[in-house]
Amino acid sequence: MRFFFLLFISLVAGSPQFLDFIKKYNKVYDNQELRHRLDVFLTNLQVIDKLNSEQDGTPFGIGPFADLEEDEFNRMYTGWDGRESSQEGRVVFNKTETADTIDWRTKNAVTAVKNQGRCGSCWAFSATEGVESLAFLSGKYPLTVMSAQQITACDKGSSGCNGGWPGSAFDYLKKTQGLEKDADYPYTAGGGSTGSCNYVASKAYEKVTGYSTASKGEDSMLTALASRPLSICHQTGGWQHYTGGSIMTSCSSGGGHCTQLIGYTADKDYWVVKNSWGTSWGSQGYIWIKKGSNLCGIANSPMYPTIG
């Protein structure tokens, strides 16, 4: 034990930032992993500096994933399998000439930020949050936290922690009696194991009858957003190190990921996106993305469920 303590002190002495990171995010490493994680952390500090140099502000910093390699992070925390709706059958929303600020949180139509953990179930969380919001807006249900675990484990059109697509989740729900509440079917896949399907039809609460997909493009997406939050899938280049405070103004390719679009700020022209990596990431779980050049492919496949 004393040897490990001395090893720990000697390794982190030259990087007080790493020690602060360990304390803030309650990181625990064994003696074989410590050296590797410190090396990854120091490399990521250079990555963060480079990312900020390409932005108008400084939205990137030391966050909860600063000890992970990019490929490792994408494998654990994203999960979109790349599918999109075809252009045929998409709903066309005409361009909004003057857009006001939109924030569905102010309408009590958005649940709290969730955490998918080390499971590629972002697609299930994006779909679940779509159901939560649209069910509330239908006037048939109070705002209720619903079961992302049911979708993760039971939708066989996707692959659980190995990835999927919100459209598949909506198709699955259309074939069932509906989606259970999180209180009845809580999330257990955060450690990386999808788990078995334990859906109980008698506990189904919110019914989904299908879904619609808006035509591609930010103007169409903005018009669609004026009437409801949207499930979106996109790239995440740089998202690993987003810490909030500034608007993200450039985005590289990265792990495919699905989230919920809940707002737009007119005066600074940016999207407000709700993520599923917990509140210690980003701006209390949210990210701000500049509108105008379809950053990260954010407007390629916005969709929303229809509620029965």
- Residue 167 is predicted with a pLDDT of 97
Mean predicted confidence (pLDDT) in 100-105: 95
Pairing of strands 257-265, 270-274: antiparallel
* pLDDT band of 3, cuts 50, 70, 90: very low
- Residue 95 is predicted with a pLDDT of 66
Please say if the pLDDT value at position 242 is more than 70.
yes
Closest CA to 186 of 176, 175, 198: 198
pLDDT tens readout for residues 172-191: 999 999 999 999 999 999 99
Q: How far is CA 6 from CA 12, 33, 65, 148, in A?
A: 10, 15, 25, 44
d(C-alpha 116, C-alpha 285), whole Å: 12
Pairing of strands 208-213, 303-307: antiparallel
* Residue 83 CB burial class (10 angstroms; 0-12, 13-18, ≥19): middle
Please say if the pLDDT value at position 1 is more than 50.
no
Say which residue the tokens 């930032």 belong to: 17
| Whole-number average pLDDT of the chain | 93
Mean predicted confidence (pLDDT) in 102-107: 97
| E strands, 214-295, in order | 230-234, 257-265, 270-274, 286-290
pLDDT tens readout for residues 137-173: 999 999 999 999 999 999 999 999 999 999 999 999 9
Spans of all domains in the chain: 2-53, 70-307
Please say if the pLDDT value at position 10 is more than 60.
no
CA–chain centroid gap for 179, Å, is 20
- Residue 292 is predicted with a pLDDT of 95
* pLDDT band of 85, cuts 50, 70, 90: confident
List all residues 6 or more positions away from 101 whose beta carbon is below 8 Å from its beta carbon.
263, 264, 265, 266, 267
Structure tokens at 47: 């990555």
* Residue 189 CB burial class (10 angstroms; 0-12, 13-18, ≥19): buried
Please say if the pLDDT value at position 17 is more than 60.
yes
Please say if the pLDDT value at position 98 is more than 70.
no
Structure tokens at 10: 């000697």
Task: Give CATH for domain 70-307.
Answer: 3.90.70.10
- Residue 92 is predicted with a pLDDT of 74
Mean predicted confidence (pLDDT) in 196-204: 98
Catalytic residue positions?
122, 257, 275
First CA to last CA distance, the chain: 60
The type of residue at 270 is: Y
pTM of the model: 0.94
